[in-house]
């Protein structure tokens, strides 16, 4: 998941208000989307620290907002964000040119910080499907139905058949592997570096034709009828897109299909938002379509592109409701700072998807082109 960036703002509350005016947001106004500043140091903090300081000052209760999702939706739609990136973003961009933030060693940080929080935590927030990606809400009435429909949509787009051998890059808690094996009779081999997720997935898929391998995706080998990546591309990194596509091409049989389900940006970026990098997804970076298509060039034929980005807004709000219910039972255990961090994360991302600053793409690629023509599924 990616968090929207925000401009640096000047120290004066009056000028701060002028900057927010195009979005229809007021400082200390009376509407749910207005931000309420509790301490004057807020302005200095955001001036010097940009989006990182905006998030951290929220976690320190220097400001709050009753409808945080609407706040971010409005400022992003008004084009206030990203005009003056803070110096920390420039520094991170410089470091990225020299380093590979998604190297094998660094890739484990996100598993340890985020995905290994505890399977019981994610069970409560995500629900029985354990899907930590966008649901498909075309016909669904609730989160569970939306996630089931998303999994079935992916299987139909891959044209899964009984006895297909499927390679999954980054398998989460095993939800797709279980669904594909039970509903479509496939054999699924899934790679994952999160110890907690691997433990959960192995237990959840016990007795099914599923192999959960606790290794980095770069160690994948074998020959498969289909390849799928659901919520993995966000952790691959710009420097690794080409080698990632090459690996999938090597593992895919002639005539096979590969599906990529990923959050995406409208424009290229070499670094992520500093707040989301520090507190939620270290090493994460969202691709744009140009980067993906250039990386896949000469390896695959694009058969279908489907954008379900608006569905992520609804998915995030459903997770947030589940999270609030969890918090009511475990407030003392989670703590106030953790609560503010996850509230900021979930609701700011919901606003970003609602504003169409972020997208959710499902791309279907074929190896050598689908001979009889590919018929898109919806």
Beta-bridged to residue 301, according to DSSP, are 366
What class is the 102-309+356-366 domain?
A: alpha beta
Burial tier of 263 (Cβ tally within 10 Å: 0-12, 13-18, 19+): buried
At 35, is the secondary structure helix, strand, or coil?
strand
Instruction: Write down the catalytic residue from 134, 233, 251, 349.
Output: 349
Strand partners, 261: 230, 362
Q: Are strands 63-65 and 187-191 parallel, antiparallel or unpaired?
A: unpaired
User: Is 349 among the residues known to form the active site?
Assistant: yes
Going from the C-alpha of 175 to that of each of 15, 125, 195, 279, 290, the distances in angstroms are 49, 15, 16, 25, 30
Query: Which DSSP helix (H) or strand (E) runs through 261?
Result: strand 252-265
Q: 224 by DSSP, 3-state: which?
A: strand
Rounded Cα gap, residues 167 and 155, in angstroms: 13
Question: What is the pLDDT tens value at each position of the chain, 378 positions in all?
Answer: 444 444 433 456 787 788 888 999 999 999 999 999 999 999 888 877 888 999 999 999 999 999 999 999 999 999 886 544 443 444 444 444 444 454 455 444 544 555 556 788 999 999 999 999 999 999 999 999 999 999 999 999 999 999 999 999 999 999 999 999 999 999 999 999 999 899 999 999 999 999 999 999 999 999 999 999 999 999 999 999 999 999 999 999 999 999 999 999 999 987 788 999 899 988 889 999 999 999 999 999 999 999 999 999 999 999 999 999 998 888 788 889 999 999 999 999 999 999 999 999 999 999 988 888 899 999
Could you give phi then psi for residue 152, rounded to 5 degrees? Answer: -65, -40
Domain ranges of the chain: 13-97, 102-309+356-366
User: Whole-prediction pTM value?
Assistant: 0.88
């Amino acid at each position: 998941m990616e968090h929207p960036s925000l401009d640096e703002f000047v120290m004066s509350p009056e000028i701060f208000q002028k900057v927010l005016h195009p979005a229809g947001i007021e400082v200390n106004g009376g509407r749910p989307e207005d931000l309420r500043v509790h301490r004057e140091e807020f302005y200095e903090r955001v001036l010097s620290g940009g989006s990182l300081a905006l998030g951290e000052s929220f976690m320190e209760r220097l400001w709050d907002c009753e409808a945080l999702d609407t706040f971010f939706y409005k400022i992003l739609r008004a084009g206030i964000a990203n005009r003056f990136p803070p110096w920390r973003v420039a520094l991170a961009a410089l470091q990225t040119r020299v380093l590979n933030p998604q190297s094998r060693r660094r890739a484990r940080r996100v598993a340890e910080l985020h995905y290994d929080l505890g399977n019981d935590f994610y069970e409560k927030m995500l629900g029985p499907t354990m899907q930590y990606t966008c649901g498909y809400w075309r016909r669904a009435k609730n989160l569970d139905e939306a996630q089931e429909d998303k999994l079935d949509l992916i299987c139909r787009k891959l044209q899964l058949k009984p006895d297909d051998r499927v390679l999954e890059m980054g398998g989460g808690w095993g939800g797709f592997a279980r669904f594909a094996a039970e509903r479509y009779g496939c054999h699924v081999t899934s790679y994952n570096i999160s110890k907690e997720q691997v433990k959960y997935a192995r237990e959840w898929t016990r007795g099914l034709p599923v192999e959960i391998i606790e290794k980095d995706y770069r160690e994948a080998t074998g020959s498969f009828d289909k390849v799928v990546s659901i919520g993995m591309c966000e952790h691959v990194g710009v420097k690794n897109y080409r080698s990632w596509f090459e690996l999938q091409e090597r593992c895919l049989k002639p005539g096979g299909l590969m599906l990529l389900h990923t959050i995406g940006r409208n424009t290229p970026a070499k670094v992520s938002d500093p707040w989301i990098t520090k507190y939620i997804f270290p090493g994460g970076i969202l691709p744009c379509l140009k980067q993906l298509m250039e990386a896949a060039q000469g390896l695959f034929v694009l058969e279908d592109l489907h954008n379900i980005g608006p569905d992520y807004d609804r998915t995030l709000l459903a997770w947030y409701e589940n999270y609030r219910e969890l918090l009511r039972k475990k407030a003392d255990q989670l703590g106030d700072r953790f609560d503010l961090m996850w509230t900021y994360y979930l609701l700011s991302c919901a606003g970003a998807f609602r504003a169409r600053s972020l997208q959710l793409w499902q791309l279907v690629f074929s190896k050598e082109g689908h001979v009889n023509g590919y018929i898109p599924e919806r």
